[in-house]
Amino acid sequence: MPVPIPRQRAIPAVESGQAQAASPCGGPAEDSVTDASAAAPRTPDTAGNTTEKVESNTTHTNLTLLLIEDDPAGSPIVPDMLDQAGKPIRVRTARNLTEAGRLLTDDVHCILLDLALPAPGRGDSDDELAVLRHVLELAPRHAVLALTASGDAERGAEAVRVGAQDYLFRDELDGRLLSRAIRYAVERKRSESAERRLAEGRLRAQENRRLERGLLPTPLLDGSPLRFAARYRPGRSRALLGGDFYDVVRTPDGTVHAMIGDVCGHGPDEAALGVELRIAWRALTLAGLCGDQLLNTLQQVLEHERADDEIFATLCTVDIAPDGRRAGLCLAGHPSPLLARPGKPARLLPYDNNGPALGLLPGARWPRMQVELGAEWSLMLYTDGLIEGRVGEGRERLGQDGMTEMVRRQFAEGLRGEELLRAAVNEVRALNGGELTDDVAVLLLDRVP
C-alpha cells in the first residue's frame, strides 16, 4: 500500500536560511513558500459576494529538499528548481546536523549534504565520510545526494558505496541538473526500499515454509494399511501459520500413533513452540513412550520452552493397535476425535476423562482410555478452529454437535479422505460467512479391510 505523504509543516523561512528575521516592529517573518489562497485576488460573484479567486499556477510544492551545508551566506549554491510537473522544489537549509535533525520532517523527500561538514561527536577525523554516515543513521528512509568539490569523483563514488543515492560537484550545479538529480535520487530510494521489502517478504515466506514443514510434517506410515489425509487452513489476517500442529508415526511393533495439538495464540512464537512440541512428541513416541508418561514429558518441554507462564497447549493423542480394531486415547484439554463407521452414525469418542491442557497444572495426570474401533472406520482428529466458527449472522457457533451432524451427512453422501476434509472445512467456512478467525487443522485416518 502506498504510504501517504503527510501534510507539510509550516517552516519559517528564517529556519531555512531563505529570509530575513522578523522586522523591528515585531511582525512575524514570512515563510518562503506562501499559501496561494492568501495572495489570491478577491472578485465579486454573481450575487455580489466577495469570493477568492485561486490561480491555477499555485505555488504548492511537490518535492522538498533539505540542504545541509555551512555557507554563512545562506544557500547560493542551490539555484531555483522545478519538479517534473513544473512546480517549484522547496528548499530548506540547515547549517549543521543539529539543525538538520530539527528540520527533517516527514515531508522532506531528499537531502543534499555537503561532505565537507564535520560530523558531531566523532573523533575519527580520518573518516572523510563520517558526516554522511551520521546523516544515513539520522534519516534511513530519505534519499541522500552527496555534494563534493569538483575533481573529487573518488570521494563521491565512495559516498554512493556507503549509501548515498548519487553525488554532485559543487561548482557544476545548475537548476536543471539538480532537479533531475533530486528526482532520480528519490525514485532510486523508493526502488531500493521496494527491493528491500520484497527481499524481506521472500525471507518471511521461507521462514513460513520452514515452520510449515515443522508443524505439518510428512507422516511415517510405511508398512501400515491405514490411509492418511490432512488439511490445514490458517485463520485470516495472519501471514504465518498459527499454533496448530499434528503428526502420525508407525512404531516397529506396528502401532500407529497420531497426535493433533494447538498452542494458544497465533504468532510466530506460538508456531515455533508448536514445532518443538511436535518434534518432541515424535521423538518420545519413537522412543516407546505413550499415554500419561508421554504427556507429562511434553508438559515439561512446554514449561521450559514457552515465553510466558500463561502459554498452554491442548493435545489429543491416539495409539491404534497393530490389528487396527482398538485404540488408546488421551486428551489434554482437547476436543474428542470423531469416529465414523459404515452403517452407524458418526459419533465423538468418550471424553469423560479429559485431562487439563499442557502447562496449566503442575503434576497433572492424563488417563488413557481404551476404545473399540471395529473392522472398518474413519477417525477424524481436529483443532477447535473447526467447531468455533459461527453459524449465520448470530452468536451461535457450530460446536461439536453441529460438526458431528455435518460429518454424518457428508459421510452418508459417500465422501472420504481428502474429499471429506475439503468439504468439511469449506462448509464450516461458508457457515461462518467468510474466513475463520482461528486456524483449522484436521487429519483423517481410514481403515478399509
Residues 249-301 have pLDDT tens digits of 999 999 999 999 999 887 778 888 999 999 999 999 999 999 999 999 999 99
Residues 206-239 have pLDDT tens digits of 766 666 667 778 899 999 999 999 998 876 544 4
3-state SS class at 67: strand
Tell me, what's the pLDDT at 213? 66
* Angle 138-143-149 from CA coordinates, rounded to 5°: 90
Tell me, what's the pLDDT at 23? 36
Question: Does residue 58 have a pLDDT over 50?
Answer: no
Residues 97-146 have pLDDT tens digits of 888 888 888 889 899 998 988 877 655 556 789 899 989 988 888 999 99
Q: What is the DSSP string of 244-291?
A: EEEEEEE-TTS-EEEEEEEESS-SHHHHHHHHHHHHHHHHHHHTT--H
Torsion over CA: 116, 121, 123, 129 (sign):
negative
Is the Cβ–Cβ distance between 380 and 387 less than 8 Å? no
Pairwise CA distance, residues 89 & 8, whole Å: 13
Phi, psi angle pair for 318, to nearest 5°: -135, 130
Is the Cβ–Cβ distance between 131 and 70 less than 8 Å? no
Residues 346-387 have pLDDT tens digits of 999 998 889 999 999 998 999 999 999 999 999 999 999 999
Torsion over CA: 39, 44, 49, 54 (sign):
negative
Residues 152-190 have pLDDT tens digits of 889 899 999 999 999 988 877 777 888 888 888 888 888
Which DSSP category does 220 fall into?
A: B
> How many residues in the chain?
449
Edge-first strand order for the sheet with 313-320 is: 244-250, 256-263, 313-320, 326-332, 369-372
Pairwise CA distance, residues 153 & 385, whole Å: 63
Is the Cβ–Cβ distance between 371 and 305 less than 8 Å? no
3-state class percentages of the chain: helix first, strand second, coil last, to nearest 5:
30, 25, 45
Pairwise CA distance, residues 5 & 20, whole Å: 29
pTM for the full model?
A: 0.59
Q: Which residues contact 176 (CB under 8 A, 6 or more apart)?
A: none
Pairwise CA distance, residues 14 & 265, whole Å: 54
How many other C-beta atoms are found inside a 10 Å radius of the C-beta of residue 374?
A: 14
Percentage of residues in the chain having pLDDT higher than 70 = 78
Is the Cβ–Cβ distance between 50 and 43 less than 8 Å? yes
Tell me, what's the pLDDT at 122? 54
Please, where are the H alpha helices in 91-223?
A: 97-103, 130-138, 153-162, 175-215
